[in-house]
A = this chain, B = another copy of it.
Amino acid sequence: MKNNKTLRVAVFGSTTMGTALSHLIASAGHTCTLLTQDATVQESINTQHCHPTYFKGAPIHPAVRASMNIADEIPKADLVVMAVPSHAMRAAAQQLGALIHPAQSVLSSTKGFEPTNTKLMTHVLREECQTEHLGTISGPNMQAYMVKGLPTTLVIASDSAQMRQHGWQAFTSPTINVNTVADLASYEYLSGLKNIVGMEVGMVQGLGLGTNFQGLVAAEGMKELDQLLTKMGLDSKPLYGVAGIADIFLVCTSEFALNYQIAVQMGQGMTLEEALAPIKARGEMAEGVESLRVGLELANQYEQPMPLLEAAHALAFSTRPVSKEEFIEAAFKRNTAGH
């Protein structure tokens, strides 16, 4: 199928992700409205074609139109892209619920879980919105690179064929490749939990355990996550593809990876509050911390031992002192047989 139908897309939230995805959607030739609650953002996007705070003034496609009129814009959209922080998804979904109709597609670009429980973003959307056409975006999609027009692959996961087709149409362009998959649960849990590995690798960097050991922790952390996903009845193969390894690699190497930065700082001895303070002050998020909380909760629920995650969780939340030796033994699968 050719990507020749112009979609009407509403992006809900002028976050870094909402702004970057709006840029991609407009660049692919679709009608894109970026919904914001901030008059300064609206003004800046519509007249200066840049975000007033994010991306250091990098140009946003001039066809992106910003609006504060959610009630008017949502009903007109074929596809609604959610781009609010995970802690704000419930309120956003409730606001959306009154406006959305069953034929519309709703795509969550937000990763992670609702605070205080283990519900995924599409769980929240499903509880609040009338449509069955729900999906998620994953893959290596750090916003700063996408706004510059640099290439990547996005993975659109949905059990709705309409949602997969809308997602594929909305983003496909010469520099953006879209993979579509039907197994929403496996991809969305992976998307929410994969930051565990990046946090673990960052912590052992902060602890000064060396790059050999960081590589080892990447491999062993993935193995732990594989076992958890499998215990949960999910497909663990996506962990080794574009939605898994590619994104874990990105988190561990990008200068823009906030989760990794705070993990390094916690490994060096900072508390979670100290590490998060400058990020919160800029109005940004580091959702990887939540992945440690939910990951351990799921590991306990499914009775899956995850010693690296347990060490990382204890270090992040200061529940007890964690030594270098604990990380070493957690990453070593000692072969005591000696053959």
Residues of A whose CB lies within 8 Å of any CB of B are 1-3, 139-142, 145-146, 148, 150-153, 161, 164-165, 168-169, 172, 175, 177-180, 209-216, 218-220, 222-223, 240-242, 244-250, 252-256, 328, 331-339
Given contacts A219-B241, A240-B240, 13 further A-B contacts (CB under 8 A): A140-B216, A146-B212, A151-B216, A151-B332, A152-B213, A153-B216, A165-B339, A168-B338, A177-B334, A211-B256, A214-B249, A219-B242, A220-B242
Q: What is the minimal beta-carbon distance from A133 to any residue of chain B, in angstroms?
A: 13
Question: Knowing A142-B211, A177-B333, A338-B168 touch, does A253 contact B250 (C-beta < 8 A)?
Answer: no
Count of identical protomers in the assembly: 2
Q: Which of B151, B240, B331 contacts A153 (CB 8 A)?
A: B331
Q: Which residues of B contact A218 (CB under 8 A)?
A: 245-246, 249
Residue of chain B at shortest CB distance from A226:
B240
B215 and A250 contacting across the interface, CB-CB below 8 Å: yes
Would you give the shortest CB distance from A249 to chain B, in whole angstroms?
Answer: 4
Residues of chain B within 8 A (CB-CB) of A337 are 1
A20 to chain B, nearest CB (A): 11
CB distance from A168 to the nearest CB of B (A): 5
Q: Please name all residues of chain B whose beta carbon is closer than 8 Å to the beta carbon of A222 when the two chains form the complex.
A: 240, 245
Q: Are A212 and B338 in contact (CB under 8 A)?
A: no
A140 to B215, CA, bound (A): 6
Q: Which of B152, B245, B335 contacts A212 (CB 8 A)?
A: B152
Name the CB-closest residue of B to A255.
B211
Bound CA–CA A211/B248 (angstroms): 11
A23 to B12, CA, bound (A): 58
Minimum CB–CB distance from A174 to chain B (whole Å) comes to 8
Chain B residues with CB under 8 Å of A220's CB are 242, 246
- Given the complex of chains A and B, what is the CA–CA distance between A256 and B211 in angstroms? 10
> In the complex, what's the smallest C-beta–C-beta distance from A215 to chain B, in angstroms?
4
Complexed CA–CA distance, A142 and B337 (Å): 26
CA gap between A244 and B223 in the complex, in Å: 12
Instruction: Sort A-B residue pairs by CB-CB distance and give the 4 closest, nearest first.
Output: A150-B210, A1-B338, A140-B215, A215-B250
- A-B contact list, 13 entries, CB within 8 Å: A3-B338, A139-B216, A140-B212, A175-B328, A177-B331, A177-B334, A215-B249, A215-B253, A219-B244, A219-B249, A220-B242, A222-B240, A240-B240
Most buried by B among A178, A222, A246, A331: A246
A16 CB to nearest B CB, Å = 14
Q: Is the CB of B332 within 8 A of A211?
A: no
